[in-house]
Structure 1
Amino acid sequence: MTLLNHRTEGPATAPPLLLGPSLGTSYALWDKVAPELSIGHRVVRWDLPGHGGSAAGLIAPGATVGDLAGLVLALADSLSAERFAYAGVSLGGAVGLHLAAHHPERLTSLAVICSSAHFNGSKPWRERAELVRREGLAKLAESANDRWFTPGFTVPELVRDHREADPEAYAACCDALAAFDLRDRLAGISVPTLLIAGRDDPATPPAHLREIADAVPDATLVEIPGASHLAPAERPEAVLTALRSHFGGGAKRGMAVRREVLGDAHVDRAQSRQTPFTARFQDFISRYAWGEIWTDETLSRRERSLITLTALVAHGHYEELAMHVRAARRNGLTPDEIGAALLQTAVYCGVPAANSAFATAQRVLAEEDGA
């Protein structure tokens, strides 16, 4: 089966996150957001049929958003992503709403960006489809900046993608937008849902996102000033902040593992000392070190503790070593096993380093026995 063209970024073991584009663009729409999201997710961004690198033959006249959702599910299946988080812009957002309404068992969470549960009726989209089939996309691409961005802003690569899309596939996507109206299914959406609106978006104004937020149980709405229809390209920092908060599974999972390994008392002390200056670093530790590395099932926690102890000795980080001797005990290592690991460091890291390490470990183990 021919799949949607896509690009995958991030660790293969990280939770999958699929990113959908808007009509007339490619996965380049996510260029300023996807690399950051891939720190904690296996990010898969895809192209609409006839856009970017996707084959035009994947869609036909009279297509529906459900047809596009089926292509996304086929892509997810090919990547063994049984369940995944999803974010989409405009038409890509409509695909996400369809998935949440009709295939909730596949989604872990959803973000709908500059989109709608309906796109102002079928007439304008039928007319646009007829125009594109008759005249191609060159003339329509000339107005892309006005429809997509605030005055004075542009992303030439996206405008080029608009101009170079396949007219028949583009028109079929217009057919899908013309037929789309999910308002009667919104109340039944149960996956955690975030709505992001561009305050200056003329295509899907904030009221369209507010309508979804009011209907979907427990949905969250974020309105971004200075953003038009393609908010991830125009205001990537604001979009990234909202998505990180919503899709923060890596940070949440990492914090849980961090507490299991280091103990509540240590983590609580670290959190109490957090300041605005150190907040991003603490988030980085939770997402990356604990949410990605320590949760990778390739090695057991016992094995990770052994590796960590030797690495800390090698670099002389004895304060951290004390913390990880305690962690090693929580991860099931005996004092004898910890001693054997430190003895190994005497051979490969040097006797003075091992001497300091034994002194640190002996103090910690004595404290643990006393407690």
Structure 2
Amino acid sequence: MEQTRHTGLFTRRFGPSPHEGVPAVVLVHGLGLSGRYFVPLARRLAAGGASVLVPDLPGNARSRAAVRRAPDIGATADAMARWHRRLSLPSCLFVGNSVGCQVIAAFAARHPRLVHGTVLIGPALDPDVPAWCQVGRLLADAPREPLSLLAVATADYLLTGPLRFAASFRHALRDAAGPFEDNLARIRVPTLVVRGAGDPVASGAWVRRVARKVVDGRIAEVGGAAHAAHYSAPDTMAALIRAFTPKGHGVRP
């Protein structure tokens, strides 16, 4: 693993350089977290020949100092575009979890030439679910996740800080209330929407709705997983991504 910082964003890279003609995959974390909980999946995708980049989003964890206050979803997507261009990356497959899916939707809508496919794992937030209920669902997910993930998440939340987390949550709620679904409808690349079978945050009905919103959407479910299926079932997720990856951008088995 190589660790660098570009346009203020702390970035982990697994596998070869993205400039060596290999598939490039970007993993986008959820609310208040860092890219650390994507490491198990990143290692498996890199073993399949991909160049995998895992940034901490601006204002979060080790990219906390990149901004003075928590940016909204659109500003986060634009910061990701600057990061993408600074690294001179090719068109990438973007894989996100939870609110990271909202960032990817905004990114793909605003910067379509930089994206050749998207994978949305446990997309949040459902605009029809009240904020207090969203919090309840997140709390209900905690005992369904591996203890090691809870340790990573707790450390990341403390590093990001409660004020940044609260501000980011408000931004995510506003995005979910309107822009998120509009952005989904503007995604023109193949999209895989994944749900852990035990996910209390992203319901089956909501996942189906997300898949219908995009132009080319399909659904997969991961048994024995909850909201962070990429962490608890990285082998299954890597296999799903390899099978899904658009032709010409494949990750070897």
Q: TM-score, normalised by structure 1?
A: 0.58
CA distance in 1, matches of 2:216, 2:145: 34
Counterpart pick for 1:54 among 46, 52, 63: 63
CA contact (8 A) 2:124 2:201 kept: no
Counterpart pick for 2:38 among 27, 30, 37: 30
Say how many residue pairs are matched: 240
How far the C-alpha of 1:15 sits from its partner, in A, is: 2.7
The structure having more radius of gyration, on CA atoms, is: 1
CA contact (8 A) 1:122 1:177 kept: no
Counterpart pick for 1:147 among 132, 135, 141: 141
CA distance in 2, matches of 1:167, 1:250: 43
Match of 1:323 in 2: none
CA distance in 2, matches of 1:121, 1:154: 28
Q: TM-score, normalised by structure 2?
A: 0.82
Does residue 221 of structure 2 align to residue 223 of structure 1? yes
CA contact (8 A) 2:44 2:235 kept: no
* CA deviation vs aligned residue, 1:2-39 (integer Å, no higher than 9, x gap): 42211112211123211001113211111211012123
Counterpart pick for 1:43 among 52, 76, 100: 52
Match of 1:163 in 2: 158
Correspondence list, 1:130-209, <5 A: 146-148=140-142, 150=144, 153-155=147-149, 156-181=151-176, 182-209=180-207
How far the C-alpha of 1:46 sits from its partner, in A, is: 1.1
Counterpart pick for 2:15 among 10, 13, 16: 10
Identical aligned residues as a percent: 25
CA contact (8 A) 1:30 1:232 kept: yes
Alpha-carbon distance change, 85 to 151 in structure 1, aligned in 2, over 3 angstroms: closer
Alpha-carbon distance change, 101 to 2 in structure 1, aligned in 2, over 3 angstroms: closer
CA distance in 2, matches of 1:53, 1:147: 25
CA distance in 2, matches of 1:151, 1:43: 24
Counterpart pick for 1:244 among 234, 242, 245: 242
Matched residue SS, 1:45: strand
Matched residue SS, 1:31: helix
Alpha-carbon distance change, 124 to 34 in structure 1, aligned in 2, over 3 angstroms: same
How far the C-alpha of 1:74 sits from its partner, in A, is: 1.3
- Structure 2, gaps ≥5 residues long: 1-5
Q: CA RMSD in A?
A: 2.9
Counting helix residues as a fraction of each chain, which structure ranks higher?
1
Matched residue SS, 1:32: helix
CA contact (8 A) 2:230 2:237 kept: yes
* CA deviation vs aligned residue, 1:104-163 (integer Å, no higher than 9, x gap): 1210111111113644467449x97xxxxxxxxxxx9xx977434516754222332223
Alpha-carbon distance change, 23 to 116 in structure 1, aligned in 2, over 3 angstroms: closer
Match of 2:233 in 1: 235
- Structure 1, gaps ≥5 residues long: 129-139, 254-282, 285-371
Does residue 96 of structure 2 align to residue 88 of structure 1? yes
The structure showing larger relative contact order (alpha-carbon pairs under 8 Å, at least 6 residues apart) is: 2
How far the C-alpha of 1:226 sits from its partner, in A, is: 1.6
Matched residue SS, 1:85: strand
Letter in 1 for 2:184: L
Matched residue SS, 1:112: strand
* CA deviation vs aligned residue, 1:335-364 (integer Å, no higher than 9, x gap): xxxxxxxxxxxxxxxxxxxxxxxxxxxxxx
